[in-house]
């Protein structure tokens, strides 16, 4: 198969959208946090915790949707920890974020080992199955790519629309955006900056955890160590790439996922002439290039990473 | 004296005098005096560490009344209003609005009680539209959609009613300062504020915008709103207020009916003594210290320099007048060492300096008072001590072998604080917590303490109050008496006329021929400033 032909096959795009789904959830989560002025570097760990919580719930006999709910709750709890440290206490968002990532990751592995001390190969669960949408899924390529996915992928797209609606069409979204731009504007209108920012971090973290759970309950059927594998960090870059706008961030996520799906297929047809690590590197190299091209003009939220203390001049 | 006892019923009746004729928009039955009371502050005190920002302040505000809160920078005006609005919690005292106590430290309660505040530093989110900023927080946060059409209609109605023209759909970042202020006022009106607090509203406005603001305030008062107008500009206070309260060092030191006082009395109350214009001794000219010869530069914050020659002589103040944007900024930056000339030479004490930079400028004894004390003159989040040694931390006095001598630095900061009468909580305080006047005094001290031979004073009194202005002038004249060569760059023509031994007008990057004290009239200077070409409006922009 020719390298260009790949781009026109439905199976390639189906894979791209599937790979994009966890990124979409987590990117939306990070976007909400950052729009409110809080950089959440806990994302990598929160996704790990979410991946485990979702899978473990199902493994212990829970429903798939229950697994998702538990993952979201676990994410929200880590979000609450992050928010408590960074918002009312005003600690460094970098340090807290990395701390939350380390804590959530290690805690997850620890609990995994406590729960399953003897296993060598991770037990499998029955994951979400593809749910083709009648009619739409028979449109060639585009329809197949978008409408033969699992319910969780559809939910990822819904989450983009919901985040966009909330940010731009609701009073609370207005407050979130203002809190990231000029928190004193929020306080001057009688709204608690602390409340808005904490709420945003908690909800955003729950979405990140759902992104993690996608991997164990939809993309794969088990939980492995290191399975998040830097996806959280990619989402941080995707938020910048998307100029803090949900729609653009969605495009960025799909673009990155397409690169990723493409490099796997290129590896197969290259016949071992080029070392496979070059292909593995490709999505990241292209992401950096895209960031350089797109993000230099991005208008970032001006109060991002600046703690807000009430009553300070 | 009337009004000495601020909270007494007699004072209240006095204030009512003549105000009943104004009919509020929603007339309320006036049964007794207290129902006409909009706001009552009782013995408000607030301390920041050892700094007593407010000390037992009490006053009443009636419906439809405009009171001016007058005071120097750092007198406690803004602190008081921030307490009123719930940004700060007072250590002592209570606030009542329309007869009901106001819970402290809760902006929401203040808004609900009808208090609207136009902050000195606007509280707008730049990335959002005018309408989004105005409606922020006015609808329940848990509604699933914004009611935009009705909000837009109301904003347009308010804009039309009160002369506050602004496009509700415009993004705030694209607006001028005057427009942003109108958005702030609309924010308050949209929430049906009955008491409007304006904190130094004219500091950022052009004269035409100021006139428009005053017209708006008149319309608001006619609707029965009460206004607190904070200012240190006497003529504005006289123009807009019914009553003036004077604050000094956190205390209420006087209350006057505007009709029965004058600027002189208010100025004396504000600074605590009569303000005398600085006395100018005869010139004792020395040697030429700084010579610019046929210097040109690219444009920088306005016009560039075009073949400019200038000599600064010891013992003389050279005043540079001109409309902003005609090259003053680049000339100041050049002398400060921040910019280099593309053509021409810079000589100091007769020797040409080739490697001109901020460090060589300092090493050659140039003392610099920068135009913008926040952006260039100081590092807001660093301490007073760190800021005062910022220009000299490499000198053996403050460092040895690459290690800073914090003891010496601290002593130096304390000395400047004492010598220049700076009000600040401690040398460790972040400098951005200081008021404008106190920050300027520190910068002045930092520049003048090493006794520089050449002094660059760029807009040294911009935004300062009467007392601080007089102080800066006195210090500059003292330096002149010690034989310094001083370049005073100012947009305030009165200041240039009062201090300068020699006046030069700058226009389109060129200098006029100098004139000695009193030689040219204000009108002649004005013509030179306009550049004789009728392009005034371009320059003003």
Whether residue B417 contacts residue B436, with contact meaning beta carbons closer than 8 Å, is answered with no
CB atoms B132 and A170 under 8 Å: no
Q: What is the mean pLDDT of residues A118-132?
A: 91
Which 3 state secondary structure label does DSSP give B320? Answer: strand
* B394 shares a domain with B463: no
Question: Residue B470: which H helix or E strand, with range?
Answer: helix B466-481
- pLDDT given for residue B301 in this prediction: 79
* B154 shares a domain with B87: no
Mean pLDDT of chain A: 92
- pLDDT given for residue B275 in this prediction: 62
CB atoms A299 and B127 under 8 Å: yes
Q: Does B529 map to a domain?
A: yes
Chain B residues with CB-CB distance to A299 below 8 A: 127
Write down which residue in B271, B298, B323 finishes a domain: B271
Judged against a pLDDT cut of 80, whether residue A311 lies above it is answered with: no
- pLDDT given for residue B538 in this prediction: 34
Query: Which residue does chain A place closest to B110, by CA atoms?
Result: A190
Interface test with B, best of A35, A37, A170, A171 (most B CBs within 10 A): A171
Question: B144 CA to chain A: closest CA distance, Å?
Answer: 6
Chain B residues with CB-CB distance to A187 below 8 A: 87, 107, 123
Query: Which residue does chain A place closest to B108, by CA atoms?
Result: A190
Helix residue spans in chain A (DSSP H): 10-35, 43-59, 64-86, 93-115, 142-147, 151-169, 171-181, 183-188, 193-214, 231-241, 246-270, 276-295
Whether residue A7 contacts residue A261, with contact meaning beta carbons closer than 8 Å, is answered with no
- pLDDT given for residue A74 in this prediction: 98
CB atoms B137 and A186 under 8 Å: yes
Whether residue B1 contacts residue B46, with contact meaning beta carbons closer than 8 Å, is answered with no
Whether residue A274 contacts residue B50, with contact meaning beta carbons closer than 8 Å, is answered with no
- pLDDT given for residue B48 in this prediction: 82
Could you tell me the CA-to-CA distances from A256 to A5, A15, A31, B320, B348 in Å, in that order? 19, 12, 17, 59, 60
* B457 shares a domain with B420: no
| Total number of residues shown for chain A | 313
| β-sheet bridge partners, residue B52 | B47
CA distance A268 to A291: 28
Query: Residue B108's domain spans which residues?
Result: 9-114+194-271
How does pLDDT run across A131-160, given as a tens digit for each residue? 999 989 888 888 889 999 999 999 999 999
Least CB-CB distance to A171: which of B111, B146, B432? B146
Write down which residue in B449, B473, B498 finishes a domain: B449
CB atoms B141 and A172 under 8 Å: yes
The model's pTM: 0.78
CA distance A304 to B261: 49
The tally of domains found in chain B comes to 4
* B220 shares a domain with B108: yes
Q: What is the CA radius of gyration of chain A?
A: 20
Least CB-CB distance to A172: which of B111, B126, B142? B142
Could you tell me the CA-to-CA distances from B504 to B60, B86, B99, B512 in Å, in that order? 50, 49, 59, 6
DSSP B319: E
* B247 shares a domain with B236: yes
CB atoms A175 and B143 under 8 Å: no
Could you tell me the CA-to-CA distances from A27 to A43, A100, A225, B159, B327 in Å, in that order? 9, 17, 22, 40, 48
CB atoms B123 and A174 under 8 Å: no
Judged against a pLDDT cut of 60, whether residue A261 lies above it is answered with: yes
Chain A residues with CB-CB distance to B142 below 8 A: 171-172
**At CB < 8 Å, which residues of chain A contact B?**
169-172, 174-175, 177-178, 181-182, 184-191, 299, 301-302, 310-311, 313
Residue B179 tokens read as 């427009």
* B224 shares a domain with B89: yes
Interface test with A, best of B77, B123, B140, B439 (most A CBs within 10 A): B123
Chain B residues with CB-CB distance to A175 below 8 A: 136-137, 141
Query: Which residue does chain A place closest to B111, by CA atoms?
Result: A190
Chain B residues with CB-CB distance to A178 below 8 A: 125, 128, 132-133, 136
Whether residue A256 contacts residue A50, with contact meaning beta carbons closer than 8 Å, is answered with no
Biggest CA pair distance of chain B: 81
* CATH (domain of B343): 3.40.50.300
Q: What is the mean pLDDT of residues A40-47?
A: 98
Long-range contacts of A286-292 (CB under 8 A, 24+ apart): A286/A256, A286/A259, A287/A234, A287/A237, A287/A241, A287/A256, A287/A259, A290/A241, A290/A252, A290/A255, A291/A237, A291/A240, A291/A241
Query: Which residue does chain A place closest to B145, by CA atoms?
Result: A170
Least CB-CB distance to A181: which of B105, B109, B125? B125
Of chain A, the end-to-end C-alpha distance in Å amounts to: 65
* B57 shares a domain with B199: yes
CB atoms A169 and B146 under 8 Å: yes
Question: Residue B10: which H helix or E strand, with range?
Answer: helix B9-16
* Sign, Cα dihedral of A162, A166, A169, A170: positive
CB atoms A190 and B87 under 8 Å: no
* B328 shares a domain with B313: yes
Q: Which residues contact B527 (CB under 8 A, 6 or more apart)?
A: none
| β-sheet bridge partners, residue B101 | B96
CB atoms B136 and A310 under 8 Å: no
Q: What is the CA radius of gyration of chain B?
A: 26
Residue B196 burial (C-beta neighbours within 10 Å; 0-12, 13-18, 19+)? buried
* B348 shares a domain with B461: yes
* B233 shares a domain with B91: yes
Taking chain B (541 residues) in runs of 10, the rounded mean pLDDT of each run is: 38 36 42 74 88 90 94 83 91 94 92 92 92 92 87 95 94 89 95 93 77 93 94 86 92 93 86 70 90 93 90 95 85 94 92 92 93 88 94 91 93 93 89 86 93 94 80 92 94 85 92 90 80 41 29
CA distance B107 to B120: 16
Which residue is listed with tokens 């020797």? B351
Displacement of CA B464 from its chain's centroid (Å): 6
Which residue is listed with tokens 């870059």? A237
Query: Which residue does chain B place closest to A313, by CA atoms?
Result: B433
Question: Residue B117: which H helix or E strand, with range?
Answer: strand B115-118
Chain B residues with CB-CB distance to A167 below 8 A: none
Judged against a pLDDT cut of 80, whether residue A190 lies above it is answered with: yes
Number of CB pairs, chain A paired with chain B, less than 8 A apart = 91
- pLDDT given for residue A1 in this prediction: 61
- Predicted ipTM of the assembly: 0.89
Whether residue B224 contacts residue B63, with contact meaning beta carbons closer than 8 Å, is answered with yes
* B352 shares a domain with B310: yes
Q: Does B59 map to a domain?
A: yes
Chain B residues with CB-CB distance to A169 below 8 A: 145-146
How does pLDDT run across A53-102, given as a tens digit for each residue? 999 999 999 999 999 999 999 999 999 999 999 999 999 999 999 999 99
Chain B residues with CB-CB distance to A191 below 8 A: 108, 136-137, 141
- pLDDT given for residue B190 in this prediction: 96
Least CB-CB distance to B124: which of A172, A185, A301? A185
Of chain B, the end-to-end C-alpha distance in Å amounts to: 48
* B124 shares a domain with B110: no
Interface test with A, best of B77, B102, B141 (most A CBs within 10 A): B141
Least CB-CB distance to A190: which of B89, B107, B124? B107
Query: Which residue does chain A place closest to B119, by CA atoms?
Result: A188
- pLDDT given for residue A118 in this prediction: 85
Interface test with B, best of A37, A90, A190, A304 (most B CBs within 10 A): A190
Residue B310 tokens read as 């200038």
Question: Residue B196: which H helix or E strand, with range?
Answer: strand B195-199
CA distance B93 to B122: 27
CB atoms B128 and A178 under 8 Å: yes
DSSP B51: E
């Amino acid at each position: 198969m020719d390298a260009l032909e790949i781009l026109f096959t439905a199976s390639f795009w189906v894979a791209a959208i599937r790979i994009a789904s966890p990124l979409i959830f987590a990117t939306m989560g990070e976007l909400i946090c950052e729009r409110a002025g809080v950089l959440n570097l806990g994302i990598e760990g929160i996704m790990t915790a979410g991946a485990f919580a979702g899978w473990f719930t199902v493994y212990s006999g829970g429903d798939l949707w229950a697994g998702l709910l538990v993952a979201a709750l676990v994410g929200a709890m880590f979000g609450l920890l992050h928010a408590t440290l960074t918002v009312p206490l005003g600690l460094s968002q970098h340090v807290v974020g990395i701390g939350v990532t380390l804590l959530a990751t290690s805690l997850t592995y620890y609990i995994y080992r406590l729960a399953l001390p003897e296993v060598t190969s991770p037990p499998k669960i029955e994951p979400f199955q593809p749910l083709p949408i009648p009619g739409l899924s028979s449109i060639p390529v585009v329809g197949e790519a978008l409408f033969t996915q699992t319910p969780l992928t559809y939910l990822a797209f819904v989450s983009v629309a919901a985040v966009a609606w909330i940010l731009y069409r609701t009073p609370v979204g207005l407050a979130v955006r203002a809190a990231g731009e000029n928190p004193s504007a929020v306080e001057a209108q009688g709204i608690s900056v602390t409340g808005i920012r904490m709420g945003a971090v908690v909800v955003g973290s729950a979405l990140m955890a759902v992104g993690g759970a996608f991997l164990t309950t939809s993309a794969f059927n088990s939980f492995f160590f290191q399975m998040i594998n830097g996806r959280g960090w990619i989402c941080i870059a995707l938020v910048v790439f998307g100029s803090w706008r949900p729609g653009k961030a969605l495009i960025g996520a799909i673009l990155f996922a397409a690169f990723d799906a493409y490099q796997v297929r290129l590896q197969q047809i290259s016949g071992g002439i080029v070392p496979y690590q070059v292909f593995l590197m490709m999505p990241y190299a292209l992401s950096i290039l895209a960031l350089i091209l797109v993000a230099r003009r991005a208008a970032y939220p001006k109060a991002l990473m600046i703690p807000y203390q009430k009553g300070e001049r | 004296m009337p009004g000495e006892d601020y909270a007494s019923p007699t004072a209240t009746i006095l204030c009512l005098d003549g105000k009943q004729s104004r009919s509020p928009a929603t007339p309320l039955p006036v049964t007794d005096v207290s129902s006409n009371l909009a706001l009552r502050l009782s013995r408000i005190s607030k301390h920041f560490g050892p700094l007593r920002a407010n000390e037992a302040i009490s006053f009443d505000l009636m419906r439809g009344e405009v009171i001016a809160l007058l005071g120097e920078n750092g007198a406690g005006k803004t602190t008081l209003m921030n307490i009123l609005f719930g940004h700060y919690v007072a250590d002592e005292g209570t606030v009542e609005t329309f007869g009901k106590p106001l819970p402290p430290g809760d902006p929401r309660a203040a808004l609900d009680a009808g208090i609207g505040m136009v902050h000195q530093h606007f509280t707008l989110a730049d990335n959002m539209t005018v309408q989004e900023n105005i409606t922020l927080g006015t609808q329940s946060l848990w509604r699933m959609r914004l009611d935009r059409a009705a909000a837009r209609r109301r904003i347009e109605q308010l804009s039309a009613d009160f002369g506050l023209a602004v496009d509700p759909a415009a993004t705030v970042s694209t607006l001028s300062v005057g427009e942003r202020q109108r958005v702030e006022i609309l924010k308050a009106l949209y929430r049906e504020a009955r008491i409007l607090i304006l904190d130094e509203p004219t500091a950022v406005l052009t004269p035409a915008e100021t006139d428009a603001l005053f017209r708006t305030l008149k319309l608001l008062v006619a609707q029965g709103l009460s206004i607190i107008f904070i200012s240190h500009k006497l003529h504005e206070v006289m123009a807009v207020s019914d009553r003036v309260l004077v604050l000094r060092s956190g205390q209420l030191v006087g209350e006057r009916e505007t009709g029965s006082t004058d600027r002189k009395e208010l100025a004396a109350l504000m600074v605590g003594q009569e303000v005398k214009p600085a006395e100018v001794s005869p010139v004792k000219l020395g040697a030429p210290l700084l010579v610019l010869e046929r210097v040109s530069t690219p444009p920088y914050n306005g016009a560039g320099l075009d073949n400019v020659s200038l000599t600064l002589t010891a013992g003389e103040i050279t005043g540079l007048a001109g409309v902003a944007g005609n090259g003053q900024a680049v000339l100041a930056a050049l002398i400060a060492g921040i910019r280099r000339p593309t053509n021409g030479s810079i000589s100091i004490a007769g020797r040409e300096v080739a490697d001109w930079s901020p460090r060589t400028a300092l090493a050659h004894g140039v003392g610099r008072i920068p135009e913008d004390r926040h952006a260039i003159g100081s590092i807001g989040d660093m301490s007073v001590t760190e800021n005062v040694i910022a220009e000299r931390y490499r000198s053996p006095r403050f460092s040895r072998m690459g290690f800073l001598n914090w003891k010496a630095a601290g002593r130096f900061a304390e000395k400047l604080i004492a010598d220049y009468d700076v009000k600040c909580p401690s040398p460790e305080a972040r400098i951005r917590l200081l008021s404008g006047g106190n920050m300027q005094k520190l910068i002045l001290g930092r520049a003048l303490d090493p006794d520089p031979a050449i002094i660059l004073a760029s807009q040294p009194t911009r935004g300062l109050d009467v007392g601080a202005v007089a102080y800066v002038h006195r210090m500059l004249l003292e330096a002149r008496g010690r034989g310094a060569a001083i370049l005073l760059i100012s947009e305030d023509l009165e200041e240039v006329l009062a201090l300068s031994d020699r006046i030069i007008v700058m226009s389109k990057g060129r200098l006029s021929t100098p004139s000695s004290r009193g030689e040219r009239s204000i009108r002649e200077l004005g013509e030179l400033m306009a550049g004789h070409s009728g392009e005034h409006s371009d320059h003003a922009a």
